[in-house]
Structure 1
Amino acid sequence: MAHRSIGQERFGFAGRAGASSTLDELGKLIDWMSVAAVLDPLYCAAKGEPAWPPLAMFKALLLSIWYDLSDVKLAEALDDRASFRRFCGFSANEATPERTAFVRYRRLLVVHKLDRSLFDIVTAQLKSKAVTVKTGTLVDATIIASASEDDEEARWVKHKGKRAVHGFKAHVGADADTALVEEVSITSANINDGKASPDALPDNPGEVFADSAYRGNHFRDAVFAKGGVPRIVATGAWGRDEQETLRKLHEWNQPIHRIRGRIEKIFGTWKRSYGLRRMRWRGLAKAAIQVHLTAIDYNLKRTMNILAAQA
């Protein structure tokens, strides 16, 4: 099925005062044609009128994460805001997708399992711009509440001193220097961090900084297998002199805590700014889409800030 032809009246934006926005800079960060190639098999309608271009729809979903918009609000904003239209490739006056188009598009992303491929291709481009020398990796996990307690693929989990949460868990590996997210794995919330996080380890991770939840041979062996060196918070140590033993324990843990703590800023941004306090849709596959889109959004803005600081 043919896609709609959009963006044919770009000159409609000419002469608008103050039209430039952060989205214009974000749009220049990567080669979107490589993303379009991954999305090419997708169609937003099985029959009837031509489908919306998959790349335009993908960019629209990125906007929904950046601005924490529901499908209804996204459709309204895309119809109204010039910067949103430019970012997605729509001209000044042409029609834009309605809410149901985004529902169908997400369903296709699930069917074709493209969220991981999209994350990989965007992140690879961004890393080539921002990461110069790989020295270390931050590994941690965060719990995200499910869209509904009726979600059969989510699970309950409770940590000491905190309320029980019904949801999923995002396991993340991030560059220790740039804080760019390199790997993501999504599971139900009751999966142990150390068991699932080997899937969040990038290749050649360098020194791997993790908290005490990652103690154990399973995670250590995975780090060694990837060519890394584990730096994991210790909870105890043996020694004849108590004060000397505590001092050595502190000397080991303190630098790990200092470096590992950077990943908490990533989770804070995801939840505070990008609406990842709760999943928007039910099911593990759609949870993975939301987390991967959030990671892509975060990496794009993080890279833009890194390059601006370097300049």
Structure 2
Amino acid sequence: MQRSLLEPLLERINNHLEQNSIIVTLGSINIIDATVIEAKQSRKRKGKDSNNTQDSEAGYNVKTAADGKRKTTYGFKMHANTDEYGFVKKMTYTPGNVHDSQEMDKLLNKAHGQVFADSAYANKKNDERLGKHNNKILHRAYRNKPLTKQQKQDNKQRSSIRYIVERTFGLLKLHHGLGKARYLGLERNKAKAQLIAMSHNLKTGMNIFKEMQRLKTLRYYCVQ
């Protein structure tokens, strides 16, 4: 039921918003990232039958923060492709130990445009696939090969656009409870994440529609 109904439904909602001139698909950019979602039962504990109650379909994600400290979370990941207005164009849902770059192909359409992403997506395969014009992935520094002045400038400009997907994740966690899984198992939590993405797009679309109507009314009175 979930696979046959929910996965195409996000696309249908986005098509409806596009038909009403709220989403512009042609020429829109792709901002890709992933966010970690803690599992409902993330710690190893023994149940009544002495079995481990930890969610068996989740995985460990290890992330190094800006301060250099490592944070380990047992859970899942929501991978998303948003446009410049924060609409979720596509999403996937995986265990937390799946690397961000592995889901990139699934998040892009064949006729994709520019792609913005952090340095976790920087590799030779993506460089070749995207090409110089569409590749807006942050440059990565390597040992004995620091970033050039131009690369630093590129990263600053790209980060000013890439933050939109992080803001979207923040809204989904703050207002829709995405930060912690509600159920056991991947498919149930994936269904929840899909519904959250749809709800976010509809709410964002409604806010844009209201603003369009307000501006239309304002122009009418100005002409009068």
Same fold (TM over 0.5): yes
Cα 1:162–1:198 shift into 2, 3 Å: same
Tell me the alpha carbon deviations over residues 149-170 of structure 1, each in whole angstroms, 9 at most, x when there is no partner: 3111100111122431111111
CA–CA distance in 1 between the matches of 2:175 and 2:101? 28
CA–CA distance in 2 between the matches of 1:157 and 1:135? 31
Cα 1:222–1:172 shift into 2, 3 Å: farther
CA–CA distance in 2 between the matches of 1:221 and 1:188? 27
**If each structure's strand is expressed as a fraction of its own residues, which one has the higher value?**
2
Cα 1:223–1:279 shift into 2, 3 Å: farther
Cα 1:187–1:172 shift into 2, 3 Å: same
Q: How does 1:25-174 map to 2 (within 5 A)?
A: 109-110=1-2, 113-129=4-20, 130-132=22-24, 133-149=26-42, 150-160=54-64, 161-174=69-82
CA–CA distance in 2 between the matches of 1:189 and 1:156? 5
Scaled by the length of structure 1, what TM-score is found?
A: 0.58
Amino acid at match of 2:10: F
Residue number in structure 2 paired with 1:291: 193
Q: Secondary structure at the match of 1:281?
A: coil
Scaled by the length of structure 2, what TM-score is found?
A: 0.79
Tell me the alpha carbon deviations over residues 18-65 of structure 1, each in whole angstroms, 9 at most, x when there is no partner: xxxxxxxxxxxxxxxxxxxxxxxxxxxxxxxxxxxxxxxxxxxxxxxx
Amino acid at match of 1:168: F
Q: Secondary structure at the match of 2:71?
A: coil
Tell me the alpha carbon deviations over residues 198-233 of structure 1, each in whole angstroms, 9 at most, x when there is no partner: 211234331110110001133345546xxx812110
Q: Secondary structure at the match of 2:18?
A: helix
- Does the CA contact (< 8 Å) of 2:30 and 2:116 recur in 1? yes
- RMSD (Å), alpha carbons: 2.4
Cα 1:147–1:113 shift into 2, 3 Å: farther
Q: Secondary structure at the match of 2:79?
A: strand
- Number of aligned residue pairs: 195
- Does the CA contact (< 8 Å) of 2:122 and 2:140 recur in 1? no
Cα 1:148–1:218 shift into 2, 3 Å: farther
Q: Secondary structure at the match of 2:195?
A: helix
> Shift in Å at residue 128 of structure 1?
2.8
Where do 5+ consecutive residues of structure 1 fail to align? 1-108
Where do 5+ consecutive residues of structure 2 fail to align? 43-53, 214-224
Structure with bigger gyration radius: 1
Give the number of the structure with larger relative contact order, counting CA–CA contacts within 8 Å between residues 6 or more apart.
2
> Shift in Å at residue 113 of structure 1?
3.9
Percent identity for Structure 1 against Structure 2: 25
CA–CA distance in 1 between the matches of 2:172 and 2:56? 24
